[in-house]
Structure 1
């Protein structure tokens, strides 16, 4: 068994060009061609169809490429991890997180993390947009709620709870709702989605709400609720302090939706990189579940 020529073969297969493969591996086109020819000779099959204008995989080439890729990735990961075992964690970590949650909780924890590990740099983008973190070159993403199926590795960091609440001022004017179908009689403070989620006796419910106020900001909705403008449904990290001191009062507590998870997502080839593992473990240890 030999690895000679496999890296070069995979580079040509992934780029579709001997010239592009040579640029990717910082070598000459002649060297790439010679290595690939040796692989074909060793295997006794033709791996590429070559013309003056294009290069394409043969059927045998497709099969060989599919089987070589996982092995190469595993080898690259093993070399990366082994080379970093005795090193102080260092380098850049690129991550993304939801705006409000990221600003309130992730950023302060990252600041603590950076004081502990002086060799690490962090670039964090706070956005509520769905991003392909692999295509956009991110090491890590913080996500909340249900996850779509993907090839990303997921680690649960914490959980959060949704609460429906209002100010005492509002509830002095409008009777407290006892059922979700009574929300139509109330002014509801609407976020980016006009639906609130509930769970009653094990049954999930989704209720469309409406009102005079619509904000795509949890902080703005929280302040509107404090001002007595209506009912709001928000995660505990926005409202827990206001609930604790009585500035807001929870309603429909028997209809609370099930807790949702806060996740760290990262590409499979990053989950053993020391600096990524350190940050994920740090966030997991420091983030507190909503009570």
Structure 2
């Protein structure tokens, strides 16, 4: 006898991933098993939920409405299970996380790997992506984000801080001179990255500046290399430039206008009871990043 829950997790995963194979990987099942459960679910409902083609999967109108209800059901089920688990229960199941590429590679992934080594019953999916993913819509349990947070659907816990530093190579400064204040930035060669604005502090207030230049790349490592080669000014987080500054291959600029440190946050969807896998991972990341 089939359960009324059969197919709901599978349908939700496929709808969120728009792919049977990706959803199957997320659930730890075969693609055929996922397809079979969704077909049975559609038979029970007497309604088509997904339109399948050889290239993509799309929700029907009924499927779109059903997905919203399924997400609420799954959240409430997971909260109910978390509410009765003891505080010291071991993390298990699948934990889906997302973080920006460079910070994730340098700091988050090593910490996550140590956590995975110590908790064999937990599966982890870590997506490193510079896009701001929709945690609720894309089905993530946890994200690492920076700066000001605005999504009221999310709960945030501060893990660490990062500092933004304006700098340039000595060779560039010898050729073009150093800016004496913020008003001189537009006459310089500016190296822009994934951020649309540079942040500063002026007269005790935060201000922003939109850099315009002939060079742009969404990789912080590439921006750093361009700055070291003397192509212009850049503003990067401290973990990129601390060693180049110490070695003298970059020079910090306008330090009196440096903005307040940004928060590094662990954020997760709002739930009354946080699952142990999420709570324990946040505790682990906080200890690791603080160190």
Q: TM-score, normalised by structure 1?
A: 0.70
Alpha-carbon distance in 2 for matches of 1:219, 1:163: 14
Alpha-carbon distance in 2 for matches of 1:112, 1:151: 29
Superposed counterparts of 1:93-112, under 5 Å: 93-112=95-114
Find the structure with the greater CA-based Rg.
1
1:215 counterpart = 2:234: no
Once the two structures are TM-superposed, the CA of residue 79 in structure 1 deviates from its matched residue by 3.9
Alpha-carbon distance in 2 for matches of 1:226, 1:148: 35
The root-mean-square deviation of aligned C-alpha atoms, in Å, is: 3.0
* Counterpart position of 1:286: 288
- Partner secondary structure for residue 135 of structure 1: helix
Once the two structures are TM-superposed, the CA of residue 132 in structure 1 deviates from its matched residue by 1.9
The structure 1 segments of at least 4 consecutive aligned residues displaced by more than 6 Å after TM superposition are none
Alpha-carbon distance in 1 for matches of 2:175, 2:169: 10
Provide closer, same or farther for how the CA distance between residues 82 and 187 of structure 1 changes in structure 2, counting only shifts above 3 A: same
* Counterpart position of 1:121: 123
Alpha-carbon distance in 1 for matches of 2:268, 2:209: 33
- Partner secondary structure for residue 240 of structure 1: helix
Once the two structures are TM-superposed, the CA of residue 130 in structure 1 deviates from its matched residue by 2.4
- Partner secondary structure for residue 198 of structure 1: strand
Contact 1:81-1:274 at 8 Å conserved across structures: no
Alpha-carbon distance in 2 for matches of 1:166, 1:288: 28
Provide closer, same or farther for how the CA distance between residues 85 and 288 of structure 1 changes in structure 2, counting only shifts above 3 A: closer
User: How far does the alpha carbon of each residue in 1:182-211 deviate from its partner, in whole angstroms, 9 at most, with x for none?
Assistant: 112211111234532111231222223223
Once the two structures are TM-superposed, the CA of residue 78 in structure 1 deviates from its matched residue by 4.7
* Counterpart position of 2:277: 275
- Partner secondary structure for residue 164 of structure 1: strand
User: How far does the alpha carbon of each residue in 1:110-153 deviate from its partner, in whole angstroms, 9 at most, with x for none?
Assistant: 11111222222210111122222122211111111111131211
1:253 counterpart = 2:269: no
Superposed counterparts of 1:13-92, under 5 Å: 73=76, 77-83=79-85, 85=87, 87-92=89-94
Alpha-carbon distance in 2 for matches of 1:225, 1:288: 28
Once the two structures are TM-superposed, the CA of residue 264 in structure 1 deviates from its matched residue by 0.9
Contact 1:156-1:262 at 8 Å conserved across structures: yes
Contact 1:165-1:249 at 8 Å conserved across structures: yes
Alpha-carbon distance in 1 for matches of 2:258, 2:89: 47
Contact 1:96-1:140 at 8 Å conserved across structures: yes
Unaligned runs of 5+ in 2: 5-39, 46-71
Q: TM-score, normalised by structure 2?
A: 0.70
Contact 1:271-1:277 at 8 Å conserved across structures: no
Once the two structures are TM-superposed, the CA of residue 86 in structure 1 deviates from its matched residue by 6.3
